[in-house]
Amino acid sequence: MTMTTLSRRRLLEALPLGGVTLAASLTACASGGTGALGGGGGSGKVKELIVPTARTPWLDAYRRLAAAYEDVSGIRIVLREFPYDGLYTQQVNAIQSNALPFDVFQIDEAGLWNFFENEWVVPFGEIDEKFAVDDGILTYAGLPFWNSATKTSNSQGEVMGYPINGNMDLFVYRKDVYDELGLGVPTTWDEALHNAQAAKKSGKVQYGHVPRAQATQNGLSITYEFMPVFYSYGGSWFADEGKDWTPTINSDGGIAAATMFRDLALTGPEETMTIGQAEVISLMQGGRAMQTHAVAAAANQFLDPDKSQIAEVVGFQEVPAATPKGRSAPTSGTWSLCVPRGLAPERAEAALDYIKWVLSQDAQSMFMESGGIPTRRSVLDLGAENGEASPYLEPLARSMDDVRAPIRYSFGPAMASQTEKHLSRIAAGEVEPRRGMGELQDAVVRVVREAGFLS
């Protein structure tokens, strides 16, 4: 039996669940007329819910949740799995065709606001007039809320979805190489770059730092990895979101961040445009790279001794800041579970009950024990206290105080297509950072103007 398995069992024993107790608790959440977190009773007419999802590092944990819900509620959850790039398109096509093949939407942050502004999903309060936000749920810089007046996320808006898998980047490194080279765990990006360059020069590893630098057609790939650097250097996408939508991408801070990201990428594989999330994970698992910053959802793949050569020596820390006195800027990469507009009332109610159950204490504990990232504060804190089981949860919990919002705009998909293209060229060295950020600035001005946010 592996150390990882033993540690997770110890964590499970520490959680307020297990065996018969868990089953009984989950049954209480799923049955009756009040739903998992209060309000919105389920309907006996609904026997099956069709739920789309993406092939993500946390998919196995979500499969376990879906199976548990069926066991305790009698409602079968059919997970329809799509590639990350394809899930957004599938859901857009579904709502635009009025086919309603799905009972729940799982939406990445880059495309979420498009669903909100187009009213493709239903506010929870419209399904259940007694709905109230559960204050135990983490909100990731306002993720559940949509303020239609300002077209931004803030607590004055309506609740449109609940977060699942509270993802954000962590700094991931090989403790053995750090010890051999006498390196200190970096608190700034300059220190991270110095360590990456030293490691590559030493020959102890093939690569120093391997960021995800590949562009994607839908969603955020390189853009997501760039944002913790961008925000930490004081970068911002717009002058004053909700009031002044003038892009400010090519500020001094933005250019400094692009330069740092490019320099980090230069210590990794030469063909940066081929390095997606799977390649980052593989290079770290194989021990060929010393460090990266990557989504916390990938942590269990680094810790799995059956798949990873670094399972016993991998370390996790908050992403660095720009300066010694600066703040880390982890960026939310959290999915949202929403209810599609147009469902029959009983299906909408059943979908909302399912979503609320997924966010319940016991379901979130199961999700965490299975390798998912909990989006309930009490569960995340408990996991952080049991660091032996999941050592990435403690820095993740600390990161919550500094979490920043990613690209969350109704024009987000169009904007992301531009950030992906231009940032990947900068990372590859095809264009120098100042020029590349200027070109990106011009491209986003056009996007925002076409969307009607600039005259």
Look up residue 330 and give its two tokens.
């982890």
- Paired strand residues for 82: 54
* Residue 55: partners with Cβ closer than 8 Å, 6 or more residues away: 81, 82, 83, 84
Q: How far, rounded to the nearest angstrom, does the alpha carbon of residue 61 sit from its chain's CA centroid?
A: 15
Domains in the chain, ordered, with CATH? 3-166+333-402 (3.40.190.10), 169-331+408-450 (3.40.190.10)
Distance CA 277, CA 221 (A): 8
Give the strand pairing for 169-174 and 314-317. antiparallel
pLDDT, residue 88, reads: 92
Q: What is the tally of helices (H) and strands (E) in the chain?
A: 18, 13
Question: Which of 150-153's residues contact partners 24+ apart within 8 Å by CB, and which partners?
Answer: 150/241, 150/242, 150/243, 151/113, 151/117, 151/242, 151/409, 151/410, 151/453, 152/241, 152/242, 152/408, 153/113, 153/405, 153/408
pLDDT, residue 389, reads: 64
Look up residue 231 and give its two tokens.
């925000």
Distance CA 124, CA 136 (A): 17
Look up residue 125 and give its two tokens.
């309060």
What are the DSSP calls for 94-162, one per residue?
Answer: HHHHT----SSEEE-HHHHHHHHHTT-B--HHHH-TT----TTB--TTTTTEEBTTTTB--TTSEE--E
**47 three-class SS:** coil
Q: Is 48 left (phi over 0), alpha (psi -120 to 50) or beta?
A: beta
**Cβ–Cβ under 8 Å, residues 195 and 291:** yes
**Cβ–Cβ under 8 Å, residues 269 and 210:** yes
CA atoms within 13 A on the CB side of 293: 36
Task: Using CA atoms of 224, 80, 375, 143 in order, give the dihedral in degrees to the nearest 10.
Answer: 60
Distance CA 418, CA 384 (A): 37
Distance CA 112, CA 147 (A): 13
Q: What is the pLDDT along the chain (455 residues), one digit of tens a residue?
A: 333 333 433 333 334 333 333 443 444 444 333 333 223 334 458 999 999 999 988 999 999 999 999 999 999 999 999 998 899 999 999 999 988 999 999 999 888 999 999 999 999 999 999 999 999 999 999 999 999 988 888 888 999 999 999 999 999 999 999 999 999 999 999 999 999 999 999 999 999 999 999 999 888 999 999 999 999 999 999 999 989 999 999 999 999 999 999 999 999 999 999 999 999 999 999 999 999 999 998 999 999 999 999 999 999 999 999 999 999 999 999 999 999 999 999 999 999 999 999 999 999 999 999 989 999 999 999 999 876 668 999 999 999 999 999 999 989 999 999 999 999 999 999 999 999 999 999 999 999 999 999 98
